[in-house]
Structures are given as structure tokens and as C-alpha cells.
Amino acid sequence: MSIKPHELVAAVGESGCGKTTLGLSIIGLLPTPPAKYVAGEVNFNGKNLLSLAPDQMRLYRGTEIAMIFQEPMTSLNPVFKIGNQIQEAIKLRDSRGKGGVTSGRNTLGSSSRNGASDKKKQIIDVLNLVRIPDPERVANRYPFELSGGMRQRVMIGMALAQKPSLLIADEPTTALDVTTQAQVLKLMKGLMEEVDTSILLITHDLAVASQVADKIAVMYAGQIVEEGEVLDLFSHPLHPYTQGLLACIPSGSKEGMKLKPIQGSTPDLRNIPAACKFAPRCPYVMKRCEATKPELTVKEGSHRVACYLHQ
């Protein structure tokens, strides 16, 4: 898969499809052992991140590549005020700025002076970036005093304060209310230009992905089974799994179209057959599908699919 500058790519799939593992691999937070990289590369600006030593990879983390997670309740340290935590992020960024890997980009609010008021301003800048009202008061609060939506905004602020080239967001709004989710997604999408960043959005919600993504990669049992521009994918879903997912989303009333769930269940990843992993559940399965695994190949333009129906 590839992500272009200023692109919002959504990795969509159900639980166990590997999307979180993918995100953690890019930012190098996957513990190895028990994980082992068996093949492939993660090329970031020309460098293969998988080949880097841990302390080299650390230079990228939080500076060039940032990540936010699902649970805003547990992502912030409960015993430190918001302002302190943001300050920690800024301090770290400043200490790496010299001779680090930031490609000479203007980091937000950076300045060579270290006055206390400067520091405070930088913190307020971060809170303003994510449109938190009354930033002085919020900076003085503890995480438990903020709502889930506010906490997630703080996380986004901390992540984006360093103007990373890539922000990985793992189910950032799943734990939030619907209206809060809309606000946060709108904020993230809006900030992409301002902060000059791309976003990899990991989500199980195809509807959410359709609302914000430029490109969608549909994942199943550890593989990308279909990938394409969002309009393409929704108007011409090629892979039977993608079609199945779309047919699952309730829209309209029960008197209209009845939902067609995908029969069967997700495979046990410990016993993977050599063939197409979706074959046991596929309504169009052929002999070929149970023999060998279809590769992800181009169907048209940037629309790729791993299915023998289209090869």
C-alpha cells in the first residue's frame, strides 16, 4: 500500500484483519518478539524503517510519524495536567530538532528562546490548533476533568504539534459519541492542509471511511483485498468481501432492502490455507480460489483487487 502527501488513506476491516498491526508496524511499536517481520519493507521517504535500529527508529516516532489511539481515557497520564503533558511533547520535539530527521519543516511554534512565557504560548498554540475553547483553563486541568472528545483533541494536538508527515490514527473516534466523532473527524481532515500531513485512518467503520478518506484499503485476514480511490471503490466494489461489507451496512428501513450478512465467520489466523482466505465465505468461489492465493493486481488506474474474478 502507498500513502501520498496530503492523502487520507483509510485501512478498513473487521476485528482480526490486521489493520492495527499494520499501523503499529509503520511506527515501529510492534513488540518483536512475539511478532516477526517475515517479508516486505516500510519505505518512508526512501528509508526502509524495518531495517533501522531501535534508537534510529525512535527519531522518527513523534516527529515524522505520529500515532493516536482509540481510548482517550487511557492515552493521557492521569496524574499530570494537560499543559504539562503537551509541554513534554514539545520538549521532546525541540531536543530532537537538532540533527534529527525532521526534513527541515517548520515545526509549530518552535523558537530558539526558552522563556517560560514562550513555553506557555507554545502550549496554547497546540490547544488552539485543535480548536479547544478556553485553552488557558484547559491547560491547567487534569485529564479526568475533560470529556472523551476533548481528550482526543489533546492527543491530536500533541501528535500534530510536531508537524509529522504522517499521522496514524487507530480507531480514533470509536469510543466517542456520534456528534463528537463528527467534530473530531472534521478537525483531523481540516488540519491536514494546515499541518502539511497525511493520515492513515484505521477503522472498522466503512461509513466513516467513506466520509473522510481519499483512498480506501479493505483488509481481510491480514491482507489487502481491494484498494482504490473512495468514489471508485463505492461505485464499483470489485472484491466479494467489499461487496459483502457494503451490503451489511443498514441504510433505510427494514421494509426496504433487507440486510444481507456475509455468511460464515472470520478465519482462524493460526490455520491459514494457502488459497484465497475469503474462499470459504465467497458466493462466487471457484476451484482456482481454493488452490492458490490471488495477488493484489491493478484492475484500472489506482483500483487494485486480489480476486480471480478480476484476473
Partner 1 sequence: MLATSTNDKDTLLQIEDLAVYFDVGGSFSVPLLTKRATYVRAVDGVNIDVGVGETVAVVGESGCGKSTLARAVLGLIESKRGSVRIRGQDEATFKHSKDRFKIIQMVFQDPDSSLDPSMKVKDTVSEPLVGLSSMSKDDREKKAAEVLNAVGLDSKFLDRLPRQLSGGQKQRVNIARAIVTEPSLVILDEPTSALDASVQAQILNLLLDLQSKFNLSYMIITHNISVAEYLSDRTYVMYAGKVVEYGPTNAVIKDPRHPYTIALITSAPIPDPKERNLLKVEIVGEVPSVVNPPPGCRFHPRCPYAERKCSDQEPLLEPLGPDRFAACHFIEKTSRKAGKEFTR
Q: Considering only residues 105, 189, 236, 310, which one is a binding residue for partner 1 as defined by CB under 8 A?
A: 189
**β-sheet with 166-170: strand ranges across:** 65-68, 166-170, 198-203, 8-12, 215-220, 223-229, 303-305, 297-300
| Only segment of 48-56, 69-77, 94-102, 228-236 that touches partner 1 (CB under 8 A) | 228-236
70-99 residues in contact with partner 1 (CB under 8 A) are none
Closest approach, Cβ 255 to partner 1, in A, equals 9
- Give the whole-angstrom CA distance, residue 202 versus residue 193: 20
CB of residue 208 vs partner 1: minimum separation in angstroms?
Answer: 5
Among 129, 139, 217, 230, binds partner 1 (CB under 8 A): 230
The set of cell numbers assigned to 203 is 477503522
Q: With CB under 8 A as the contact rule, which of the stretches 65-73, 157-165, 202-210, 290-298 interacts with partner 1?
A: 202-210
Of the ranges 40-48, 89-97, 226-234, 287-295, which one interacts with partner 1 (CB under 8 A)? 226-234
248 near partner 1, rule: CB under 8 A: yes
What whole-number distance in Å separates Cα of residue 283 and Cα of residue 266? Answer: 15
Q: Is 121 in the site for partner 1 (CB under 8 A)?
A: no
Q: Can residue 243 be called a binding residue for partner 1 (CB under 8 A)?
A: no
Residue choice 21, 75, 210, 243 for contact with partner 1 (CB under 8 A): 210
When binding is defined by CB under 8 A, the residue of 258, 271, 287, 301 that contacts partner 1 is 258
Identity of the residue, 13 or 23, whose beta carbon is nearer to partner 1 in the bound complex: 13
Q: Does 206 bind partner 1 (CB under 8 A)?
A: yes
Is residue 211 a contact residue for partner 1 (CB under 8 A)?
A: yes
- Binding part of the chain for partner 1, among 27-35, 45-53, 79-87, 262-270 by CB under 8 A, reads 262-270
Among 30, 59, 101, 182, binds partner 1 (CB under 8 A): 182
Question: How far, in Å, are 32, 53, 57, 88, 124 from residue 42 at the CA level?
Answer: 16, 14, 12, 28, 35
Kindly state whether residue 4 participates in binding partner 1, applying the rule CB under 8 A: no
* CB burial of residue 220 (10 Å; 0-12, 13-18, 19+): buried
Cis peptide before 34 (omega within 30 of 0): yes
Contact assessment for residue 200 and residue 214, using Cβ atoms and an 8 Å cutoff? no
**Interaction of residue 181 with partner 1, rule CB under 8 A:** yes
Residue 149's Cβ-count burial label (10 Å; 0-12, 13-18, 19+) is: buried
**Is residue 298 a contact point for partner 1 (CB under 8 A)?**
no
> Binding to partner 1 by residue 128, rule CB under 8 A?
no
| DSSP3 helix / strand / coil % (the chain, rounded to 5) | 40, 15, 45
Beta bridge partners, 174, equal none
| Binding region for partner 1 (CB under 8 A) | 14-15, 147, 149-150, 177-183, 185-186, 189, 204-208, 210-213, 230-231, 234, 244-254, 258-262, 265-266
